[in-house]
């Protein structure tokens, strides 16, 4: 019998490669970070991540666990159709991989896909004008946002292709009357996009409570996208912020690493 390898204060089960285990730890950390930030929705919503070195395989949260309960070992490995690969004690949400699978399968750069139902992001998805580029955070997403019309609960595979077509080459997709999706070239990039979007929506709602928002010229918006530290590798391109949040989670409850 092979013995587990060690990784930090926890052990890596022998059934996982070092690369897969590291991806599992990072994704489990993301779920705990989402919980700490109040981005949870009971046991619903999803973050999916490619398994390194395993084309067509992805990690997803087990359906039935709260984000605060997710651990590296409980994440479920699936293929692009949402079929479970290997052993899992938990199922996945039937609506959880309909569009995630289509995005991962078609876009090589889509290493991570996130979907939430926070109140500010859902409210903006329900607004006729959608996201308005009228604040500091939204300005950094100028030209990066697409929309998909509401078709109901996302349990039908054929909608996954239509969602993909709606997304085009944009890393942020607002599902109208539903909620947002971010598509990242890695987990930290995807998290950075979602954080920016959530803050942009929070400020938009607050601004509307006071009246009409002041417009920002397109040339200034383009400059904000160009100068955003959230996407600049020199400043971590979001990785530094994710690492800081992961350190905070480690101090509070490192059980996600098991």
201: nearest Cα among 121, 130, 140, 106: 121
Give the pLDDT confidence score for residue 3 in this predicted structure: 33
Q: 194-241: per-residue pLDDT in tens?
A: 999 999 999 999 999 999 999 999 999 999 999 998 877 777 778 999
Token pair, residue 144, equals 């990066």
H or E stretch covering 50: strand 46-50
Give the pLDDT confidence score for residue 5 in this predicted structure: 39
Looking up residue 130, the CATH number of its domain turns out to be: 3.40.225.10
Which alpha helices (DSSP H) does the chain contain, by range?
A: 18-36, 98-106, 119-126, 136-139, 157-167, 187-208, 218-227, 239-252
Average pLDDT over residues 149-173: 90
Give the pLDDT confidence score for residue 95 in this predicted structure: 72
Give the pLDDT confidence score for residue 237 in this predicted structure: 77
Q: Is the pLDDT of residue 4 over 60?
A: no
Reported as a pLDDT band with limits 50, 70 and 90, residue 181 is very high
Give the pLDDT confidence score for residue 184 in this predicted structure: 95
Q: 108-157: per-residue pLDDT in tens?
A: 899 999 999 999 999 999 999 999 999 999 999 999 999 999 999 887 87
* Cα 90 versus chain centre, distance: 21
Backbone phi and psi for residue 207, each to the nearest 5 degrees, phi listed first: -65, -45
State the Cα–Cα distance between residues 88 and 82, nearest whole angstrom. Answer: 13
3-state helix, strand, coil in the chain (%, to 5): 45, 15, 40
Q: Is the pLDDT of residue 176 over 50?
A: yes
Which residues, other chains included, contact 252 with Cβ-Cβ below 8 Å and sequence gap of 6+? 36
179: nearest Cα among 114, 102, 117: 117
Burial of 207 (0-12, 13-18, 19+ CB in 10 A): middle
State the Cα–Cα distance between residues 130 and 201, nearest whole angstrom. Answer: 9
State the Cα–Cα distance between residues 143 and 146, nearest whole angstrom. Answer: 9
Instruction: Answer whether 109's CB lies under 8 Å from 186's CB.
Output: no
Structurally, the chain folds into a number of domains equal to 1
Reported as a pLDDT band with limits 50, 70 and 90, residue 6 is very low
99: nearest Cα among 34, 156, 160, 186: 160
Give the pLDDT confidence score for residue 8 in this predicted structure: 46
Instruction: Answer whether 72's CB lies under 8 Å from 258's CB.
Output: yes
Q: Is the pLDDT of residue 1 over 90?
A: no
* Residue ranges making up the domain that contains 139: 5-257
Reported as a pLDDT band with limits 50, 70 and 90, residue 2 is very low
Q: Is the pLDDT of residue 63 over 80?
A: yes
Edge-to-edge strand ranges of the sheet holding 76-78: 76-78, 58-60, 46-50, 112-115, 179-184, 172-175, 145-148
Give the pLDDT confidence score for residue 96 in this predicted structure: 67
């Amino acid at each position: 019998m092979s013995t587990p390898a060690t990784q930090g204060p926890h052990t890596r089960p022998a059934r996982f490669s070092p690369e897969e285990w590291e991806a599992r730890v990072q994704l489990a950390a993301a779920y705990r970070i989402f919980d700490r930030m109040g981005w949870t929705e009971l046991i619903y919503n999803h973050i999916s991540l490619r398994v390194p070195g395993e084309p067509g395989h992805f990690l997803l949260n087990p359906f039935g666990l709260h984000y605060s309960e997710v651990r590296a070992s409980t994440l479920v490995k699936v293929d692009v159709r949402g079929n479970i690969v290997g052993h899992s004690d938990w199922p996945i949400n039937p609506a959880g991989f309909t569009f995630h699978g289509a995005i991962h399968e078609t876009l090589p750069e889509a290493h991570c896909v996130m979907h939430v139902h926070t109140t500010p992001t859902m409210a903006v998805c329900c607004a006729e004008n959608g996201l308005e580029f009228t604040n500091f955070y939204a300005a950094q997403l100028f030209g990066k946002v697409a929309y998909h019309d509401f078709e109901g609960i996302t349990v039908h595979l054929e909608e996954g292709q239509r969602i993909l077509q709606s997304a085009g080459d944009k890393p942020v997709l607002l599902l109208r009357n539903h909620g947002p999706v971010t598509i990242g070239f890695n987990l930290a990039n995807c998290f950075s996009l979602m954080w920016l979007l959530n803050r942009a929506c929070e400020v938009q709602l607050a601004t509307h409570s006071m009246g009409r928002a002041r417009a920002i010229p397109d040339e200034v918006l383009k400059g904000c996208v160009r100068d955003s530290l959230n996407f600049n590798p020199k400043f971590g391109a979001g990785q530094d912020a994710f690492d800081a949040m992961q350190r905070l989670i480690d101090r509070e409850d490192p059980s996600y690493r098991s």
